[in-house]
Amino acid sequence: LGGDEEVEIICAGGFDLGYISAVFFFLIFILSVTGNVLLLCILVRYENLKKVTNMFVLNLACSDLVFALTLPFWGYYLQSSWVFGDFACAFVTAAYFVGLYSSVILLTAMTVDRFITVVLQKWPSSVKRQRCAMGACAAAWAISIIASVSDAVNAKVEYYGNDSATCEDSHNPESTAVKMGYYLQIALLFFLPFAIIVFCYSAILKTVVHESTRKKHRTVVVVLCIVVVFFICWGPYHIIMLILSLYNPKDCHKKDKLIIIHDIFCLLAYSHCCMNPMLYTLSQKFRIHLVNLFHFIVVMKEGWALKFCCVGRFCSPKC
């Protein structure tokens, strides 16, 4: 071999978290769909959706649902191969990124709204604030969909042999253009929002210390908890992805360690889509709404049952 030639070292497969990840994905999917659907039902039935915080929470629940609906596909893919075809590969990839991008944009918008309300106290009217919130939510979805188009277009199914296929980005991950695109993406959609949120909440917490309004304190705490949980879940994932893009160890043991860390942080990140409903259960008001909702469902079922009298296989609407 020539002295200038770089030899690629092929490592044997290390500890595989594929099965654990697949089971975890399906579990997150069930928890997220159940929790976020219940949250949406409570918001629609019991809460005032003209309130700005409720508006953002409703959109966040929808964002989590969009993300969660991709998990069964990724879970099956981890255990087998991609069997869903080209369109599903592009569509599921797009939905994944729409859910991710919309979450961080909505959280940033929610934090900025709290900053203007609590610190600047500059909203001219509640109507203007509502319109701005609606515009922010619409913009979050529009930006997320537009940003995910390139990811969807680049997602291709590659076939290996007769029974193996992958759904991956078709571009070379080592190319300069791909890396620059990734760095720009993570800067604009993670680190920039993180910096904005840290700045806003530093000012908010300083202001709130001198306030005596309990309701205002409670709203700030709720939004802060939502934001903190998001960054606890997604922060380590983005950091390890950044490390992997910058550092490619030649030692197989180090490479296996990084892959295991990546897989663990991936599970933590994906679990975020079922976290928000769990946070709301800490609120007494939410728990009361939840009990009322279950009572309403039971009453509705009993009401439907009383409409029909059944004898054997025959039912009549009159008793």
- 65-118 pLDDT, tens digit each: 999 999 999 999 988 889 999 999 999 999 999 999 999 999 999 999 989 988
What is the model's pTM?
Answer: 0.84
Domains of the chain with CATH codes: 18-282 (1.20.1070.10)
Mean pLDDT of 236-243: 89
Taking the C-alpha atoms of residue 122 and residue 119, their distance in angstroms, rounded to an integer, is 8
E-only strand ranges, the chain? 155-160, 164-169, 309-311, 314-316
Compare 267 and 10 and report the one with higher pLDDT.
267
- How far apart are the two ends of the chain, measured CA to CA in Å? 91
Residues 6 or more apart whose Cβ sits within 8 Å of residue 217: 208, 211
Residues 6 or more apart whose Cβ sits within 8 Å of residue 48: 54
Q: What residues pair up with 167 in beta bridges, in sequence order?
A: 157
Kindly report, residue by residue over 301-314, the tens digit of the pLDDT: 766 665 555 544 55
Angle between helices 192-209 and 214-246 (to 10 degrees): 150
Across 106-120, 133-147, 254-268, 301-315, least confident range: 301-315
Q: Specify the pairing of strand 309-311 against strand 164-169.
A: unpaired
